Amino acid sequence: MSAAAVLWRQLRFERRLFWRNPSAAFFNFLLPLLLLFLVASVYADNPAELDVLIPGIAGMAIMATTFTALAFNVTFLREQGILKRMRGTPIPVPAYLGGLLGSAVVNAVLQVALIVAIGNLVYGVSWPKDPLSLAVFTAVGVVTFAALGVAFSHAIPNFDAAAAYANVVFLPLIFISGVFYSAESLPPVLEAVATALPLKHLIDGLFAAIVGGADVADQFGALAIVVAWGIAGVVLAARFFRWE
Amino acid sequence: MVTTTAAIGAGTAAEPAIRVDDLRKSYGAVEAVRGVSFEVRRGEVFGLLGPNGAGKTTTVEILEGYRERSGGAVSVLGHDPADRDRDLQQRVGIVLQGAGFYPRVTVGEAVGHFASLYERPRDPAETIELVGLTRSAASKTVELSGGQRRRLDLALALVGDPELVFLDEPTTGFDPAARRAAWEVVRRLSELDKTVLLTTHYLDEAQALADRVAIVKDGLVVAEGPPRELVGEGARYVVSYVAAGRRVHHETDDPTDLLHRLTSDALARGERLEGLSVSRPTLEDVYLELTEDEPAGDEPAEGPRT
């Protein structure tokens, strides 16, 4: 059996499990949409704010479905000894981790598609003006935040602490990175912090792709910062990965 | 690869399933394993015994490929487990201590999924039957009792149809009936010519199941051999009876002579030896003697020890 076939089987197994976990389904799917509807109802008559909100929620959803979900999952799988058990089987490590990460990627992509569609159909935000740029930023964002999530799981001491650890990063970051309003209205210190971190740049890239119609080359600076974080994430995730 | 080394000559057994030679493992300044050597022959049930912290789990985890050794040589089915070769992993089944499972999967799904990871798996339903979980096949793993979860562990380790099975404390937390059932499974493995490396705290378990055992203490093997021979090495019988409300024990190499003297004396005094018994030491006695921390006092060979 080829490694690709094993990966595919593992991915299907993870997908089946995902839908059986009501709290994961809520945090990954319903919560971003709920926030979208709530905040959009405030901005209902303001197309400029909605143009900021849709890419912002899409960026937040990418982070929630990859960074937060994987920080949780890897901590759980390690604490339960499931990682160790899987390591004792002949499944190739890339196929196992590929299935685990692939499941998070599927959630992220579904979520971005859903948010873009709702943005257009319900709130009249334009269809992505540069779909290629949207695809590039989604792909880079997903890989970056997935790697950072796995890397961050190494810092979480146990599963009971996972929610606190993940939210200490996630909640402040979505407030300073321009999810709900333009990051330009932030105090300079917070703006400087947001500029050093990847989420703001991911959202800028998504904004440019969906609303601005700028192609990838115009967003090279933002893309470079997200990629740099992605490389750091992959290195840290691999360097400190523990099976038990 | 079963290499029956004809070159060595008639009468020699096949290449051992496991060979451990002067194995060492240090964690920082602490030497957990300090030169362990033993061999496990193909088709035998080998027991690794020892108190907590003796180094047995470290040893087994090196053989399973989970840890890297600091020194010495190991060979498992002809492979170095540190290479984490997939061919080796196809042929080995591992029952870990306290490893969980995806909580929202049924027993049937779990065993079926694991079967898909192996090239030549056993039939999942038949494997579930083998460990006695057929009635719980549709239950989610979170709903299983401790004993049932251990059986699932066993099923997951066996579904790849391994040649060699590692069982780390397989019956810890079992009630007596579940233990007997697990013993039956191990015996069946042995009938199927599987090689089993078992670690256990329970001496009766080792005595009941293992063809040979090694007793590990402070990172060293202090005794090795078939349980019967280990027990036999002391070759001492214990004669005991109750006198003046206290049980008196005598150790002897020659119970016939001792019994004759004791009973003659008692009859001469017109007394009875209440609760008289003659027993051979069990593996547990040998184990306790070998793993004792303080050297035992020098007792006279046939002196009473109460």
pLDDT at position A91: 92
Confidence of residue B2 (pLDDT cuts 50, 70, 90): very low
B16-231 topology per CATH: Rossmann fold (3.40.50)
Res A145 pLDDT > 60: yes
Digit-coded pLDDT (tens) for A105-130: 999 999 999 999 999 999 888 899 99
Q: Which residues contact A242 (CB under 8 A, 6 or more apart)?
A: A78, A154
Q: For B112-142, write each residue's pLDDT tens digit.
A: 999 999 999 999 999 999 888 999 999 999 8
* pLDDT attached to residue B184: 87
pLDDT confidence of residue A183: 73
Tokens representing residue A186 in the block: 């932030």
Per-residue model confidence (pLDDT) at position B120 = 93
* Distant-in-sequence, close-in-space partners of B105: CB < 8 Å, separation ≥ 6: A17, B113, B140, B141
Q: Which residue of A has its CA nearest to B65?
A: A88
Residue B267 burial (C-beta neighbours within 10 Å; 0-12, 13-18, 19+) = exposed
For residue B158, give the chain A residue with the closest CA: A89
Q: How far is CA B249 from CA A184, B245, B267, B274, B304, in A?
A: 89, 13, 19, 13, 6
The pLDDT of residue B19 is above 80:
yes
- pLDDT band, residue B54 (cuts 50/70/90): confident
Q: Does B66 touch chain A (CB under 8 A)?
A: yes
Please list the alpha-helical segments (H only) found in A43-186. 47-63, 69-79, 82-87, 93-121, 131-153, 159-176
Take residue B301 and report the two structure tokens written for it. 């060979």
Task: Evaluate if residue A62 carries a pLDDT over 90.
Answer: yes
Is B99 in Cβ contact with A85 (below 8 Å)? yes
pLDDT tens-digit series, residues A194-232:
999 999 999 999 999 999 877 777 788 999 999 999 999
Mean pLDDT for B267-292 is 80
Mean pLDDT of A57-70: 95
pLDDT at residue A182 greater than cutoff 90 = no
- The DSSP secondary structure of A6-36, one letter per residue, reads HHHHHHHHHHHHHHT-HHHHIIIIIHHHHHH
Domain boundary assignment for chain A: 3-239
Label residue A152 by pLDDT band (50, 70, 90). very high
Q: Is the dihedral of CA A5, A7, A13, A18 positive or negative?
A: negative
Q: Kindly tell me if the per-residue pLDDT of B9 is higher than 80.
A: no
> What is the average per-residue pLDDT within B40-59?
90
Q: Cβ of A21 under 8 Å from any chain B Cβ?
A: yes
* C-alpha to C-alpha distances, B22 to B25, B36, B59, B66, B75, nearest whole angstrom: 10, 5, 11, 18, 12
- Hey, which residues does B18 pair with through a beta bridge? B40, B76
Residues of chain B with Cβ-Cβ distance to A88 below 8 Å are: 64-66, 89, 92, 94, 96
B183 interfacial to chain A (CB closer than 8 Å):
no
Question: Quick check: B86 contacting A, CB < 8 Å?
Answer: yes
* B95 interfacial to chain A (CB closer than 8 Å): no
pTM of the model: 0.83
Across the interface, whether the CB atoms of A82 and B100 are under 8 A apart is answered yes
CB B92 within 8 A of CB B166: yes
Give the residue extent of every domain in chain B: 16-231, 234-291
Q: Percent of chain A having pLDDT more than 70? A: 100
Q: What are the pLDDT digits (tens) for B60-111?
A: 999 999 999 999 999 999 999 999 898 999 999 999 887 888 889 999 999 9
Given this model, what pLDDT does residue A26 score? Answer: 84
Please indicate whether, in this complex, the C-beta atoms of A244 and B86 are within 8 angstroms of each other: no
pLDDT tens by residue, B197-252: 999 878 888 888 999 999 998 889 988 989 887 776 555 788 888 877 888 888 88
Instruction: Please classify residue B246 by burial: count the beta carbons closer than 10 Å to its beta carbon, then call 0-12 exposed, 13-18 middle and 19+ buried.
Output: exposed
Residues in Cβ contact with A95 at an 8 Å cutoff, skipping those fewer than 6 apart: A3, A4, A6, A7, A10
- To the nearest whole percent, how much of chain B has pLDDT over 70? 90
Distance of residue B89 Cα from the nearest chain A Cα, in angstroms: 5
B92 interaction partners in chain A (CB closer than 8 Å):
88
Q: What is the mean pLDDT of residues B178-184?
A: 84
Write out the H or E segment, with its range, that includes residue B276.
strand B274-279
Helix H or strand E segment including B23: strand B18-27
Interface pTM (ipTM) of the complex?
0.86
Among candidates B89, B100, B102 on the partner chain, residue whose Cβ is nearest the Cβ of A17 = B102
Task: Specify the DSSP element, H or E, that contains B34.
Answer: strand B30-40
Burial grade of A206 (CB within 10 A; 0-12, 13-18, 19 or more): buried
pLDDT at B294: 52
pLDDT of residue B103: 87
